[in-house]
Structure 1
Amino acid sequence: MTSNQTVTSPRRPGAVQPHGGERRGAELLSIGAVLACLREDFPEVTISKIRFLEAEGLVEPQRTPSGYRKFGPADVERLAYVLRMQRDHYLPLRVIREHLDAIERGEAPPALPGADARPGPREEADRELEAPAGGVRLGRAELLAAAGAEERDLAEWESYGLVAAGPDGGYDADTLQIARLVAELGRFGLEPRHLRQVKAAAEREIALVDQVVAPLRRHRNPQTRAHAEATARELATLAVRLHATMVQAGLRGRGQ
C-alpha cells in the first residue's frame, strides 16, 4: 500500500470488524475523508473527536512514513460503532471497549441496555474522571463528616467560592469530591485563599469547553443536543490531563 493511494469513501458504516480485518487492497482514507463519511449519520463528530477515540485505543489507523493517519473501512466501521453506542445507548467508553474486545475475540458483545434506559447523573457517556456515585445529596453535617472537615473549614471554603450548596441546601457528589480535595491540600499547608487561582483556571477551562459544545446544545437534532454533555465530559477530561501534564512537566523542570 502506497502513501499516495487515491482516497475514496468506503461503504456506509455497518457491522464492526476486528482490528486487522481489512481486506487486501482496501482503500485507505485520510482523517478528513473519514470525517466526511461519518458526518451524515453523526453531524456532531469532529476531527478532535476522532483523534480522542484513537488516543483512547478504540481505533488504530495506519500511519504513512510522513506520519499521516490512514483509515481503512474497518476503522470507519469501528468509529461508527463507538459513536452509535454513545449516542443511542449512552454507553461510556470503557463499556464500548468491552464490546469491541468481545468482537475481537469473535464473541457477541454484551447486551445493550433497554430502550427506556437513561444515564443517571454519574452515568453519563464517557465519564472518565473518577467521582462518587450518582444522585448523592448530602446535608451540611454529612458533607463535613465525609470530607473529614469542621464547620469553620466549610464556611471558609464557601467564602472563597470553592464549594457551594445547591438550591435545596444540599451538596452533590462533585461538591463532596471538591471538599475532600480541598481538605487534603490543606494538610499540605495550602489554604483556600491559595486555591482561588485553581478555581479561576477551572472557570477559564469551563468557558473554553462551553465555546465548543454550545453549537451542539443549540442543534435542532435532539440526539445531537443529548450528546453535548458527553462531548463536554470528554473535553473536560482532556483539559484535566493537559493541565496535570503541564504541571508535572513544569515541576520536573524545576528539579533539574
Structure 2
Amino acid sequence: MEHTPPGGAGDGAATGAGSGPLSIGGVLRVLREEFPEVTVSKIRFLETQGLVEPGRSPSGHRWFSGEDVERLRDVLRMQRDHYLPLRVIKEHLGSVAEGELPLPPTKAPQRSSPGTRRERPSDPPVRIGREQLLAAAGLTEPELMDCESHGLVSRYPDSSYDEAAVAVAGIVSELGRHGVPPRQLHAVKAAAEHQAGLLESAVASAEHPGDARTGGGAEPPGARLAALSGRLYEVFVQAALHVRPAEGPDAGNRPGE
C-alpha cells in the first residue's frame, strides 16, 4: 500500500495518529524515548515482515504516518512485554484492527522522578501450555521435541512454558525455515550463558556503593548490559555475514530509502 504524503516528511516528534509524516530518522527519535535500543535496521526489518507499510515521497524517501508510528510502538511493546514472535504479533494486530481482540496490556515502566527507584511489573509470569507454544512459535511436535533434546527450550514440572521459551521457540522456528537446525544452536545458548556470567560480574561491580554510574532512577544495569551485549552480538553476526548494519538516526533518509 503506497501513499503520497500531504507534505514533506518531517523529523518532528510524532506521538499520535494525527501527527504529520515522519522520515525514518524522525521515527527512530520518537521510538527511542521508550525503546532506546531500536535501530533503523530494526524498523526496516519490521517493514520487510509486513508489520508496517510506510509510504514513499515522490523522491523515493520513506515516510511514516502517525498511525505507522503507533503500530510500531505496539509491535515493539508486544515483543518486549510478551516475547511474541512477529508472525503472532502480525496476526494479533490484524484481529485488533478488525475489533476482534484488544491489544495486550503493556508492562512498560512509568517515568520515574530523580531519586525514585524504578519498580518491576508485579504481574505474575506468563505460562502457556504445549499446544499454545506450538501454535505461537509455528513449530511441529517433532521440532519442539528436537529443541528440548538439545536444551534450547525447557518446560516446568507442570509441563508449562514461560515467555522466554516462547521467544526462543519462535526464533528457532524462523531459523529452521532458513535451514538452521536446532542441533547447531546449542553453542549459541552455551555462549549466551557464558556471557551472562560475565555480565553478572559486571553488574556486581556497577552496583558497588562507590560507583557513580548507579543512581535511583537509572535503568537496572543488568538490563542495559544485556541489551548492549545482544546488540554487539547482532553486529558481529552481521559483519561475519557481510551485512552492513545501518548506523545513525538519519541512515534511512537517503533517496530510495
- TM-score class normalised by the smaller sequence: 0.3 to 0.5
Q: TM-score, normalised by structure 2?
A: 0.46
- Structure with the bigger percentage of helix: 1
Instruction: Work out which structure has the larger RCO, using CA pairs closer than 8 Å and 6 or more positions apart in sequence.
Output: 2
Q: TM-score, normalised by structure 1?
A: 0.46
